[in-house]
Amino acid sequence: MAGPALHGRGSATEDEHHAAEFIAGKLQKYGLQPAADAGDFIQTVTIESRQVIGSPTLSAGGNAAQGATIWAHGRDVVFLNLPRAEATGELQKLDLAETSASASSVREDAALAVKLKPGTTFEQLQAALAPLSHSKAEIVMISSTPELKGMFQAMSAHPPHTPQKIGNDEPPSSAIVVLVALHAFQHIWSLPDGAFIRVQGQLSPWRETHTWNVLAKIPGGYEDQMILLSAHLDHLGVVKGKTYPGADDDASGTVAVMELARALAREPKPKRTIVFALWGSEEAGMIGSRYFLQHPTFPLKDIIANLEFEMIGRPDPAVKPDELWLTGWDRSNLGPEMAAHGANLVSDPHPGENFFTRSDNFPLAQKGIVAQTVSSYGLHKDYHQPSDTFTKINWMHLDESIASMIGPVLWLANSDFMPAWKPDLKP
């Protein structure tokens, strides 16, 4: 999976396609049944996308012709997305420290300046953005904070996200969202309400590509209860002439799902059906899992739990050498119950990294499915680097980690235990 032949399995590339075909062939050889449409092991996803050309700009004050202060993406402002090339709006201010602040007060086509509460974290920002980006606003400008410095720097090195057309579904309408450095935000906040705000950028024409999900199953006795074991099969591929192998991210998780499939296929028929999913194009915005949720090949309501395996190729120094950790541990009863039945699972020791929201479990969790990620990523420096090679994998740890999950998954597949979100902690 992480060898030179697949060139890093870049999202929506033929290398990713070859990886999907290889995995599908292995799962069929293990005796699993297809779980995609029309008796297939592979679900093909059509994607239309476009790229940002150059650096978009944000201008504030003055008018359309003159007198405005202009900032370009990458230094003073960071565009989190660019759903359209140009937009204008009249300034409206929203201070989230005020109890009366609400997305319902946003004016039609406003350029909304949002002052965050002191100490706002990335996860809190995500929660605040959800209603604002889908409000009536045309542009949403967010004040940066010291807690968001790392995110600001990371996003400044990449072009803004552009919405994609996945399958036959049009991308949802949303505001242009810009993270603004403090000095620039203070200038915007000093302007009078109604001041002219403008975004200018350039987008390439739409281009069609594909990605691929691999879906297989071990049928159980219950027709309406399923356990979903998943990982993402893609990585970054070749970027500027350098290959990013993605051995830990997420060839290790892919191998875990494949090996669990091989081991569980040898067991007696379980009560609950066990589905194995290898998602395509996670690195490009969780496209494969999002498409599946829009076009499921079996009822989503039948999935009682999803365990996503993400980066288990090395032990995490923050926990014991034989332990794996589960994102969102406190959100549901799944982790503690599996630990009580033999899983070497503990709580995520890196809550500040917001890993619960950063893998393919999250789109499923947003649909109400108890979906959490199993990992042992210790924040090593090879993450998203060409140095994430198979020579860095701790093979004993990977082998023992996979073996440690066989019994607990078998218990879950044969028990009557029903995982559930805890009150008020459902995503």
Strand 165-166 with 139-143, pairing:
unpaired
What digits encode the pLDDT tens for the residues 6-58?
999 999 999 999 999 999 999 999 999 999 999 999 999 999 989 999 999 99
The H-assigned helical ranges of 265-354 are: 287-294, 334-340
- pLDDT grade, residue 73 (50/70/90)? very high
* CA distances in angstroms from 48 to 14, 160, 163, listed in the order given: 16, 16, 9
Beta strands in 176-314 (DSSP E): 176-180, 196-200, 207-218, 222-232, 237-239, 242-244, 272-279, 303-309
Domain with CATH 3.40.630.10 in the chain: 4-49+207-414
Average model confidence (pLDDT) across the chain: 93
Model pLDDT, residue 42 = 98
- Beta strands 139-143 and 110-115 are parallel
For the domain spanning 57-200, the CATH number is 3.50.30
Q: What is the DSSP string of 36-48?
A: SGGG-SEEEEEEE
Is there a cis peptide before residue 388, judged by omega within 30 degrees of 0?
no
Look up the CATH superfamily of 4-49+207-414.
Answer: Zn peptidases (3.40.630.10)
- Higher-pLDDT residue of 150 and 401 is 401
Mean pLDDT of 113-138: 82
Q: What is the DSSP track for 320-340?
A: -TT-EEETTGGGBSHHHHHHH
Q: Given pLDDT bands bounded at 50, 70 and 90, which one contains residue 145? A: confident
What letter does residue 356 receive in the DSSP assignment? G
Beta-carbon contacts of residue 153 (< 8 Å; ≥ 6 apart): none
- Given a cut of 90, whether residue 61 has pLDDT beyond it is no
> Distance between CA atoms of 184 and 186, rounded to whole angstroms?
5
* CA triple 43-292-309, angle to 5 deg: 95
Note the pLDDT of residue 65: 52
Max CA pair span of the chain: 74
Q: Would you put residue 39 in left (φ > 0), alpha (ψ -120 to 50) or beta? A: left
Contacts of 387-391 spanning 24+ positions with Cβ under 8 A: 388/2, 388/244, 388/245, 388/246, 388/247, 388/248, 388/249, 389/2, 389/245, 389/247, 390/2, 390/3, 390/245, 390/247, 390/251
pLDDT for the residue numbered 5: 93
pLDDT > 90 fraction of the chain, expressed in percent and rounded = 80
pLDDT, average across residues 156-181: 88
Report yes or no: 230 and 375 within 8 Å, Cβ to Cβ: no
**Residue 101: which of 89, 87, 115 has the closest Cα?**
115
Relative orientation angle of helices 253-264 and 395-414, to the nearest 10 degrees: 50
Predicted confidence (pLDDT) per residue in 191-221, tens digit: 999 999 999 999 999 999 999 999 999 999 9
Which stretch of DSSP H or E encloses residue 371? Answer: strand 371-375
**Segment 298-305 mean pLDDT:** 97
63 pLDDT exceeds 70?
A: no
Using pLDDT thresholds of 50, 70 and 90, give the confidence band for residue 363.
very high
- Cα distances (angstroms) measured from residue 273 to each of 3, 10, 41, 238, 299: 32, 31, 16, 37, 12
Within the chain, all domains assigned CATH 3.50.30 are found at: 57-200
Confidence (pLDDT) at 281? 95
Distance CA 93, CA 180 (A): 14
The pLDDT of residue 398 is above 90: yes
Q: Which of 130, 155, 174, 162 is nearest to 47 (CA)?
A: 162
pLDDT score of 64 more than 60: no
Read off the pLDDT of each residue in 223-247 and give the average, rounded to a whole number. 95
Predicted local confidence at residue 66, as pLDDT = 64
